[in-house]
């Protein structure tokens, strides 16, 4: 069986988190479970286990396909369009990414 790959890695930008928590939950005062960061623009949203699911709502509103965990030690990502988990090298956090920066 072939492994499904992400075809949207070219949409990853060198971004930093725009906030230290879920942007929308901080504004509304709602709690969140875990955080995700958009790798196209740096938006921080709450995960699908949170009441408001702002990370997924951000994807639907913007079409930005790739996010990563914004939790300490969270070195994985997700492509919403391809529905595939991404490793740390793919999202620019692993040893391979550090030794071979994009050109």
Tell me: the pLDDT tens digits for 8-18? 999 999 999 99
What are the distances in angstroms from CA 58 to CA 2, 23, 44, 61, 82? 30, 11, 9, 5, 16
Query: Rounded to two decimals, what is the model's pTM?
Result: 0.86
Task: State how far the Cα of 29 lies from the Cα of 94, in Å rounded to an integer.
Answer: 34
Classify the C-alpha dihedral 43-20-45-103 as positive or negative.
positive
Q: Which CATH architecture has domain 11-99?
A: 2-Layer Sandwich (3.30)
Kindly state the average pLDDT of the residues 19-32.
97
52 or 100, which is more confident?
A: 52
92 pLDDT tier (thresholds 50, 70, 90)? confident
Kindly state the average pLDDT of the residues 31-45.
98
Which residues sit opposite 44 in a β-bridge?
A: 37
- Please tell me the predicted confidence (pLDDT) of residue 100: 33
Please report which residue ranges of the chain form alpha helices under DSSP H: 23-28, 54-62, 95-99
């Amino acid at each position: 069986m072939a492994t499904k790959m992400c075809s949207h890695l070219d949409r990853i930008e060198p971004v930093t988190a725009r906030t230290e928590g879920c942007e929308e939950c901080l504004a509304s005062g709602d709690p969140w479970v875990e955080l995700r960061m958009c790798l196209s623009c740096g938006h921080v949203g709450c995960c699908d286990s949170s009441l408001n699911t702002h990370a997924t709502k951000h994807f639907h509103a913007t079409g930005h396909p790739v996010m990563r965990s914004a939790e300490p030690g969270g070195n994985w990502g997700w492509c919403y369009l391809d529905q595939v988990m991404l490793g740390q090298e793919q999202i620019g956090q692993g040893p391979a990414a550090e030794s071979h920066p994009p050109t």
